[in-house]
Structure 1
Amino acid sequence: METQLGNGPAGIRGDLSATDLAKALRQGWRDFAARPQYGLFFASFYVAVGIGLYYLFMVRGETRWLIAAVAGFPLFAPFAAVGLYEVSRRLEQGLPMGWTHVLGALRGRGDEQLLLMGGIIFVGFSFWVIIAHMIFAIFASAAGLGEGMAFLTSQMGLTMLAVGGAIGAIIAFIFYAMTVMSLPMLVDRDVDFITAIITSFKALSANFAVLLLWAVMIAVALFAAILPYFLGLLVVLPVLGHATWHLYRRTVG
């Protein structure tokens, strides 16, 4: 039987603090240092796709698509961390560790729940790219400066970045609320993705200030990691992935 922890809904702690975030980060670094090959493996795909998108759009001069893709790229971070959740789960429980176990986690529990979540995230990313493209087109047309840096550094371009950033932040936060606890839960338990999403929203509601801070920390860390040609993600993404697992364990139990 589920029991109420803290002051949150049944089975969910409602007393998380910044101390819990610090502990989760320390444990995330510990897990990454213990099995770095897995973190580097998953992060390398993320880095390769990012670099590929950058050069593709820069060579073709499609600035509007580059901005949209880079800004929406973090939406895939939680799904990219599924294998890392499995690594942390096995380290935590002292289970055998191998590529078969870790890669097998990407298939979920054979019920396609993780696949469905991945589809939702992909739809969200596609929706954001379309919205961002529309915003770019509207402001660029109004400014009459094309798509280059001259437009981006103009007053109209800066206004566009502010508007697009605000809309993107709202979309990103919605998906963060959906996935921050649901994806680790789908790795940890035999539940459907609807139940996992509901649990994630309940956890956010019970610990809004702390989990909002966690969202900001993730966004800042990912943005900083993207700047050096995405290479910072080789460390930042695994540590955040492992840390999110431990935060999930503290929150959902």
Structure 2
Amino acid sequence: MTSDATGSRPPENPTPQQQAMPQVNMITASEITASLKAGYSDFLARPLMSGSFGLFFAAFGILFVWCLVWLGAIWMVVPAAVGFPLVAPFAAAGLYEMSRRLQRQESFGWSDILRAMANQRKREMGWMAFVTLFIFWVWFYQFRTVLVIVLQDSSFSDLAGFLRTVFFTPEGWIFLAIGTCVGAILSAVLFSLTVVAMPMLLDREIDFVSAMLTSIRVVRNNPAVMLTWAAIISVTMILSLIPAFLGLIVTLPTLGHATWHLYQRAVTPAAG
């Protein structure tokens, strides 16, 4: 005689348990200061390794701009220089890993950091790279569109002529005003999507959409603090570009390490 009692065996097609969204915290301006101090401390702990990331980023920026000039794409130099920092959060993945290991007091070398970065291709970081590069492409496209509309009657054959047209003519001022407004909107969108999403994807198993939504929640719950953080990043990165991108050797790794520590304060650690 067989038993028909329910619960004698699990169902054949159990419903998968939904992953809980990370919990975000309220943070204050003092935690930005603490994160910057911690980031600079991480830079000083491994200055050569941290500085190498900044040097690579600076060298790539110099090469990128030089190629544009060599190809005669003068109009692309300004958006490339201004928009180049947009991809910095993705480029800082190795710095996040360094800060994580320093926080845990783990020893590590170049092979450990590069292996951790390479392993991201198997996870969700690639999708975040796609989002970042897509917004970077939109930045170039809107810049070119505004350029054609506003400066259609202007002519310039070299970088000096282009800068002279942009900064010393009424048409150039209109172009700068429109471009700055559109660029600010794109930067705000990208910042909101990535400010904690990038370190979170490296730190825990989570899909990139949930990471972006968590990042947006952090910005929404702490608008004044996160706006201050965005301003610090923007001003620091722009000033770092002035000496031929070389300021990035120090500022990029410091901000990258600091971003990790701010993420740790803004998002409750995963259970376990």
Fold equivalence (TM over 0.5): yes
Counterpart residue number, 1:87: 98
The number of residue pairs the alignment matches comes to 243
Aligned ranges 1:140-159 → 2 under 5 Å: 140-141=151-152, 143-146=153-156, 148=161, 149-152=163-166, 153-159=168-174
Gap change, CA 1:91 and 1:155, over 3 Å in 2: same
Structure 1 contact 71–168 (Cα < 8 Å) conserved: no
In the alignment, what sits opposite 2:227? 212
Query: Does the Cα contact within 8 Å between 1:83 and 1:103 map onto a contact in 2?
Result: yes
Q: Which residue is 2:5 aligned to?
A: none
Structure-2 residue corresponding to 1:247:
262
Number of the residue aligned with 1:193: 208
Q: For 1:134-182, what per-residue CA distance to the aligned partner results, in whole angstroms no more than 9, with x for missing partners?
A: 11122111x4344623421201101101110110111011011111100
Q: Is the 8 A contact 1:186 1:192 kept in 2?
A: yes
Report 1:105-120 matches (<5 A): 105-108=116-119, 111-120=122-131
Q: Quick one: distance in 1 between partners of 2:58 and 2:174?
A: 29
Contact 1:32 1:239 in 2 (8 A): yes
- Distance, in Å, in 2 between the alignment partners of 1:123 and 1:42 is 23
Q: How does 1:65-144 map to 2 (within 5 A)?
A: 65-108=76-119, 111-141=122-152, 143-144=153-154
5+ long unaligned stretches in structure 1: 1-8
CA distance in 2, matches of 1:250, 1:109: 23
Aligned to 1:5: none
CA distance in 2, matches of 1:240, 1:214: 10
CA distance in structure 1 between the partners assigned to 2:120 and 2:187 by the alignment: 27
- Name the residue aligned to 1:12: 24
Match of residue 4 from structure 1: none
Aligned pairs for 1:166-181 within 5 A:
166-181=181-196
Q: CA deviation at 1:110?
A: 5.8
Residue 82 (structure 1) shift: 0.7
Q: Is the 8 A contact 2:120 2:126 kept in 1?
A: no
Indicate the structure with greater helix content: 1
C-alpha distance 173-108 of structure 1, shift in aligned 2 (>3 A): farther
RMSD in angstroms over aligned alpha carbons?
1.7
In structure 2, the CA distance between the partners of 1:251 and 1:108, relative to structure 1 (3 Å rule), is farther
CA offset at residue 53 of structure 1? Answer: 2.4
Residue of structure 2 equivalent to 1:47: 58
In our comparison, the structure showing a higher alpha carbon Rg is 2
Partner SS for 2:97: helix
Question: Is the 2:42–2:257 contact (alpha carbons within 8 Å) kept by the matching residues of 1?
Answer: yes
Query: Is 2:22–2:267's contact at 8 Å kept on the other side of the alignment?
Result: no
Distance (Å, rounded) in 2 between the aligned partners of 1:200 and 1:144: 42
Q: Describe the superposition over 1:56-88 as per-residue Cα deviations: whole angstroms up to 9, x where unpaired.
A: 333454331001111211111101111000000
How big is the shift at 1:46?
Answer: 1.1
Contact 2:95/2:257 (<8 A) preserved: yes
The correspondence for 1:236, drawn from 235, 251, 254, is 251
CA distance in 2 between partners of 1:10 and 1:77 (Å) = 24
Q: Which residue of 2 aligns with 1:3?
A: none
